[in-house]
Amino acid sequence: MSERSILLFGYGNHGKFIAKGLNEDGFRLKIVESNHDYYLQAKEDGFMDVEHLDVTNDSLLEVLNPQYFEQLVCVMEDEHLNVFLTLSLRSLFKESYILAISDSLHTTKKLKMAGADKVIDLYEVSANKIYNILKRPVSTKILEGIVMDKDGITFREMLIPEGSFLQDMMTDDVDFAPYGILLIGMIDEELGHTFVFITTGINHKLDAGDTLVCIGPKEKLDAFEEEIKKEKSIP
């Protein structure tokens, strides 16, 4: 198995953003697409290792040698084809790690039954899921691509620098609304680098070295990240 290697099935609306993110993060990426137009789009976008083949053909799947990739990502545009592909891959390559994308609870159940190790349901992404996925680089890029695609938003970890105006403030006293972003939680150094969800209802003191995890439009996050570098005023 080759580390940091991904076999991506699908270059549709979600797949193209996933491919871009994984490529930027340095993963060795191979794209497989059964739709000729999507295949041509991947080639046009500069991806070199792209194959156009019928993913319902088991013998063609075997030629791809999926067992040599770290993860198999199923994100075919047709949800029925995505489920069928997941089932085929699990049957053929029992040891492979399969990650699939779902647009509905109904499809999620089907993908899990088909043998996917991990299913990212676009309508069930919560603060908990975001943090869990943050710990896994591949899924981070996948989720980021999906969120950017659907809502124009993304998430970011921001370190509070020494002397920041946020230093010594309580989370309940910071109004994030004017900045156009949402605070999901924080990594509190005083608690041993523990992640704390804002939904727990605990009012936390912000210290230099703590990390905020926020979600919002990229330009708003950029602006807020610059804002927290400002020193607090001394009366």
What pLDDT, in 10s, does the model give residues 214-229? 877 888 889 999 999 8
* Separation between Cα atoms, residue 100 and residue 103, nearest integer Å: 10
**In degrees, to the nearest 5, what angle opens at C-alpha 142 toward C-alphas 137 and 144?**
95
The predicted-structure confidence for 149-178, as pLDDT tens digits, reads as follows 555 567 788 889 998 988 888 887 888 778
Q: What is the pLDDT of residue 7?
A: 96
In this structure, of 67-71, 196-200, 207-211, the range with the lowest mean pLDDT score is 196-200
Top pLDDT among 107 and 196 is at 107
CA proximity to 107, closest of 96, 95, 119: 119
- pLDDT above 90 for 57: yes
Return the domain boundaries, the chain.
Answer: 2-151, 153-227
- Residue range 113-135, pLDDT digits in tens: 999 998 887 655 544 555 555 55
User: What average pLDDT score do residues 171-194 get?
Assistant: 74
pLDDT in tens, 58-108: 999 999 999 999 999 999 999 899 999 999 999 999 999 999 988 777 788
Question: Which of 52, 5, 6 is closest to 32 using CA atoms?
Answer: 52
CA distances from 59 to 64, 73, 78, 219 (A): 9, 19, 21, 47
Superfamily of domain 153-227: Regulator of K+ conductance, C-terminal domain (3.30.70.1450)
Q: Are 222 and 181 contacting, i.e. CB atoms less than 8 angstroms apart?
A: no
Superfamily of domain 2-151: NAD(P)-binding Rossmann-like Domain (3.40.50.720)
Which carries the bigger pLDDT value, residue 190 or residue 204? 204
Q: Would you call 51 helix, strand, or coil by DSSP?
A: strand
